[in-house]
Amino acid sequence: MNRKALSLLSGGLDSILATKLMLEQGIEVEAINFVTTFCTCTRKGCQSAARTIADQFKIPLKIVGLQEEYLNMVRKPKHGYGANMNPCIDCRVMIFTKAKAYMNEIGASFIFTGEVLGERPMSQRRDAMMLIEKESGLRGLVLRPLSAQHFEPTAPEIAGVVDRNKLLDIKGRSRKPQIALAESFGINDYPCPAGGCLLTDPGFANRMRDLIKHDSLSIEDARLLKVGRHFRLSEKVKLVIGRDESENSVLDKTFKDGDIILQVRDFPSPLAILRGEGSTHFMKDAAAIVASHTKAKESPSCHVSFRTFPNESKDDILINPASREALNTLRI
Ligand code: SF4
């Protein structure tokens, strides 16, 4: 067994510390970072957080985007969901399986992660971790430097490639040990402190469930779930309304053929997209909902202008803003 290992580097503090511990032991480290549509890193995204750390540690980094294949797994995960729409076990199996292939490609002999036993309810339970290892064909080859003392020795420990005595026994949800360890290493700035995944967010999960139920989960649709207020007008038709200028500008870039774009006339108005087969039949409903998100809701009626994308035919309609009850019924 050689002294080369692959780090699953998310850019979060745990994976940074795990990487640092391995480098301290003189292990030759390369890193891999997986990015999905559902990452919520707040600054410049997981990808650049991992890049920043890899550059600091002077280790090679491969970034892998997970798209359709990941979405298919989210649609129907073999091991089900956690508290929301997070298919953590299947997600980790997919990531570990891909990491294993890359480990072999670069000639590394094991992978390591920043996982901490008991830190996350679904994917970091002992039974789940063992299952993930087994299903990804990595039994005994996944080292968890932060929690290693709570597990049986892994192959690199048994082979003496890694000194088990220098591995840690962190366990549970408190972040204090990690923060203390970061301080001891002089690591003060972690680009993506907690990381995160929209699939664990209850509001986002509702919108995902709605898409899956209506069988329209594409990458584009999933991206659109990140912005705006969403309304279900029929089996096939949805309305999305921007909540502020930045969301309006995101919506502005997501138009696709057949979309109807609505804005209230004569009042400051958000941008709204009406999308789906037969959406023209829902123009009035959509216009009433958009109007109720502007000052026009205080008027008995108002004009809402609309245009179709991409040929931009324009018109407007006179409607009565929707009532609060109507909004509550249709909101996802
Ligand atoms: S929280 Fe999201 S990214 Fe993390 S394991 Fe679960 S599904 Fe995967």
Distance CA 302, CA 311 (A): 25
Separation CA 16–CA 35 (nearest Å):
16
CATH entry 3.40.50.620 includes domain 4-184:
yes
* CB-ligand 1 contact for 85 (6 Å cutoff): no
φ, ψ of residue 240 in degrees (nearest 5): -125, 130
| Domain definitions of the chain by residue range | 4-184, 227-330
Cα(184) to ligand 1 centroid in Å equals 29
Please tell me the distance between residue 299's alpha carbon and the centre of ligand 1 in angstroms. 46
Residue 200 near ligand 1, beta carbon < 6 Å = yes
197 lines ligand 1 (CB under 6 A): yes
Mean pLDDT throughout 81-104?
A: 97
Average pLDDT value for residue range 291-320? 91
Q: Give φ, ψ of 4 to 5 degrees.
A: -105, 135
Q: Does residue 209 have a pLDDT over 50? A: yes
SS (H, E, C) 255-290: CCCCCEEEEECCCCCCCEEEECCCHHHHHHHHHHHH
> CB–CB of 314/265 below 8 Å?
no
Q: How many angstroms is it from 85 CA to the middle of ligand 1?
A: 9
**Residue 120: per-residue pLDDT:** 86
> What integer best gives the mean pLDDT of the chain?
93
Residue 130: CB partners within 8 Å, gap ≥ 6?
A: none
The band of 289, judged by pLDDT with boundaries at 50, 70 and 90, is very high
Best mutation site among 199, 204, 208 for ligand 1 pocket (most ligand atoms within 8 Å of CB): 199
Residues 6+ apart with CB under 8 A from 189: none
Choosing from 35, 123, 135, 198 the residue with most ligand 1 atoms within 8 A of its CB, the one to mutate for a pocket test is: 123
Residue 95 near residue 135, CB atoms below 8 Å:
no
Among 80-84, 211-215, 292-296, 327-331, the least confident range = 211-215
Nearest C-alpha to atom 1 of ligand 1 is from which residue?
197
What pLDDT digit, counting tens, does each position of 144-186 carry? 999 999 999 999 999 999 999 999 999 999 999 999 999 999 9
* Mean pLDDT, range 280-286, rounded to an integer: 95
Distance CA 161, CA 109 (A): 10
Mean pLDDT of 66-90: 95
CA Rg, the chain, in Å?
A: 24
Residue 74 CB contacts under 8 Å (≥ 6 apart), including other chains: 85, 87, 199, 208, 217
Edge to edge, what strands does the sheet with 302-308 contain? 229-232, 238-241, 272-275, 260-264, 302-308, 314-319
Do the beta carbons of residue 116 and residue 171 sit within 8 Å? yes
Token readout for 150 is 């709570």
Write out pLDDT tens, residues 115-138: 999 988 878 899 999 999 999 999
> How many Å lie between the centroid of ligand 1 and the Cα of residue 17?
19
pLDDT at res. 219 = 87
Task: Please name the residue whose Cα sits nearest to atom 2 of ligand 1.
Answer: 197
Closest residue CA from atom 3 of ligand 1: 197
Higher pLDDT, 30 or 254: 30
248 Cβ inside 6 Å of ligand 1: no
Out of 38-47, 63-72, 299-308, least confident range: 38-47
Contact indicator for 232, 332 with CB cutoff of 8 Å: yes
Q: What is the mean pLDDT of residues 21-40?
A: 95
63 burial class (0-12, 13-18, 19+ CB within 10 angstroms)? middle
Question: What pTM was computed for the model?
Answer: 0.88
Q: What is the pLDDT of residue 190?
A: 72
Name the residue of 88, 96, 200 to mutate for ligand 1: max ligand atoms within 8 A of Cβ.
88
Our CA angle for 142, 107, 39, nearest 5°, is 55
pLDDT in tens, 34-64: 999 998 764 455 668 899 999 999 999 999 9
Residue 223 has pLDDT above 90, yes or no: no
- pLDDT of amino acid 42: 46
